[in-house]
Chain A
């Protein structure tokens, strides 16, 4: 399924923002057992690996799901700067 998601994300165009628009306080994630961000992110950008959360801002679809489900306030989320980020051609 992972490979399929990669293929899906390959169809998109991005202009990556050099300033990360999502910042995670990873120490807060250590106490989190549900880790909802790993389930809801439609781009699969949150992965739990070797006892910490691994996250990549590039490839973000800017939906805001992770921010809505994170009850611990570990995610500081804003939009990428104007003109940066995902560019849907067929939204």
Chain B
């Protein structure tokens, strides 16, 4: 590596970094892509599905060329789990196949990232693997390159796309280290299962896939509890089973993620879906949560943050398309700065405008609002037990004579959902109506 000054160094060959490098190389800039793994994707874990809308813009024929596992045709099926029951919300399976449909795919990042980085290399960027960026080089108050064990590399601008534990973000002082409430830990298992068995079990054609989300409350130590999510999705000849919990939840609940994963494997419903599968690989990864406080922290003098490094995830925790879109936006900002020959923070802050065009400013705001709303998610999270109770009551009512029930359907709905969730001064008219309804119901019942 020489003292040659590159136009741009992109740190991290994940979806954000490769998207940035691809765009920059196409625009004719001299760009270097650095990856700490021996191969791009070696350090990465896909914690959900790839939402490929942005990829479609960047590489329109990716469906023919990228290493994809299955296309999700089931939408996002949501299940509420209790210890011995599961309630599934209605599911849309959409078999239309045109460009207006959401492009959701299961992928292995070890294959996908390697392919995507290769696209960037084919477009003209230079890729160095097994190269860890340990520090930034500074020159009169601005970032002037990166320091690696293999030597220093100089550039006019550095794009930090080095993931959730970003070295660039930390060394540039742009964003503080993540707090426990700002990250979720994903633990994931790849479970081997023959393709034919998967297709039969989930009612799929070859190439089609499903994605299921399970939400449930886990009892912790000392009577505490926490909400852990589980996702199950289909690869070509394997299943991915994950658990996800915020670090502060894990800490408060006191139950390690792998124990919850093991318990979810034994849940009667999930056990039937993964029956006969054998463990291929176990993985863990953090995903950032809740966006950044101030979008200004995404750019500094000679440095930009994209992907997980800039906390680009939606309020649902989806990071694939925001990573690619932020990488592409960063590339546009660098191109603008180069045209002006000025890589100061002022010029690079055009990044925020480009992010806005990609819809990412809204994404960040929504993620922040959801995250900072006290108990925002808890209303959803408290429900599994109550919803399952209500569903049980409904199905029981088809079978058990009505005399067994203390409340009507409405009464049950009121006492299990409205009463715990709505404050008394809003719900009292309903409460009164329910009280009258319950008396009527009991009178009717007594008459029978």
A in complex with B: yes
B207 at the interface (CB under 8 A from A): no
One of A2-10, A25-33, A50-58 at the interface: A2-10
> What is the distance, in angstroms, from A15's C-beta to the closest C-beta of chain B?
8
Which A residues lie within 8 Å of B182 (CB)?
Answer: 68
> Which residues on the B side are within 8 Å of A42 (C-beta)?
185, 187, 256-258, 284
Q: Closest approach, in angstroms, between the C-beta of B55 and any C-beta of chain A? A: 18
Does A90 contact B108, Cβ atoms closer than 8 Å?
A: yes
Q: Which of A11, A36, A63 contacts B280 (CB 8 A)?
A: A11
Interface residues of B in 254-298 (CB under 8 A from A): 254-259, 262, 279-286
Enumerate chain A residues within 8 angstroms of B262, measured Cβ to Cβ: 1, 4
Is A63 touching B250 in the complex (CB atoms < 8 A)?
no
Which of B110, B179, B280, B285 makes the CB contact (< 8 A) with A68? B179
Chain A residues with CB under 8 Å of B280's CB are: 11, 90
Q: Which residue of A lies closest to B184 (CB)?
A: A65
- Docked complex Cα distance between A13 and B286 (Å): 19
CB within 8 Å for A65 and B254 given contacts A87-B37, A90-B108: no
Q: A68–B178 Cα gap in the complex (Å)?
A: 6
Tell me which residues across on chain B come within 8 A of A86, comparing CB atoms: 43
Please indicate the chain A residues that have their CB under 8 angstroms from the CB of B88 in the complex: none
A69 proximity list for chain B (CB < 8 A): 180, 247, 251
Given A39-B254, A39-B256, A68-B247, verify A8-B165 contact (CB < 8 Å): no
Q: How far is the CB of B250 from chain A (nearest CB, A)?
A: 5
B43 and A81 contacting across the interface, CB-CB below 8 Å: no
* Docked CA distance A68–B281 (Å): 25
- The reply to whether A39 and B251 contact each other, CB–CB distance below 8 Å, is yes
Bound: A90/B38 CA distance, A: 14
Contact string against A for B residues 221-240, beta-carbon threshold 8 Å, 1 for contact and 0 otherwise: 00000000000000000100
Task: Report the nearest B residue to A21, measured CB to CB.
Answer: B132
CA distance A42 to B255 in the complex (A): 11
Asked whether any CB of chain B lies closer than 8 Å to the CB of A44, the reply is yes
Q: Mark A62-81, 1 if CB is under 8 A from B, else 0.
A: 11110111000000011111
Q: Mark B125-164, 1 if CB is under 8 A from A, else 0.
A: 0000111101000000000000011100000000000001
The smallest beta-carbon distance between A44 and chain B, in angstroms, is 7
Complex CA gap A62/B285 in Å reads 8
Partner of B251, one of A5, A34, A62: A34
* B167 at interface by CB-CB < 8 Å: yes
Taking CB as reference atom, which chain A residue is nearest B109?
A: A91
Would you call B251 and A61 a contact (CB within 8 A)? no
- Residue in contact with A90 in the complex, picked from B148, B177, B187, B238, CB distance below 8 Å: B238
Chain A nearest CB: distance from B114 CB in Å?
Answer: 11
CB neighbours (8 Å) of A65 from chain B are: 183, 185, 247, 284, 286
Q: A79-B165, A87-B37 are in contact. Are A12 and B281 (CB under 8 A)?
A: yes
Distance from A20 Cβ to chain B, minimum over Cβ atoms (Å): 15
Does A40 interact with chain B (Cβ within 8 Å)?
A: yes
CB <8 Å contact, B283 and A61: yes
Q: In the complex, given contacts A64-B183, A68-B183, A79-B132, what are 6 additional A-B residue pairs having Cβ atoms less than 8 angstroms apart? A: A40-B256, A42-B284, A63-B285, A64-B164, A79-B36, A91-B283
Show 25 A/B contacts (Cβ-Cβ < 8 Å), sorted by A.
A1-B262, A8-B279, A34-B251, A39-B251, A40-B257, A42-B187, A42-B257, A63-B185, A64-B286, A68-B286, A79-B36, A79-B165, A79-B167, A82-B129, A82-B130, A82-B132, A83-B36, A83-B37, A88-B41, A88-B109, A88-B110, A90-B108, A91-B42, A91-B43, A91-B109
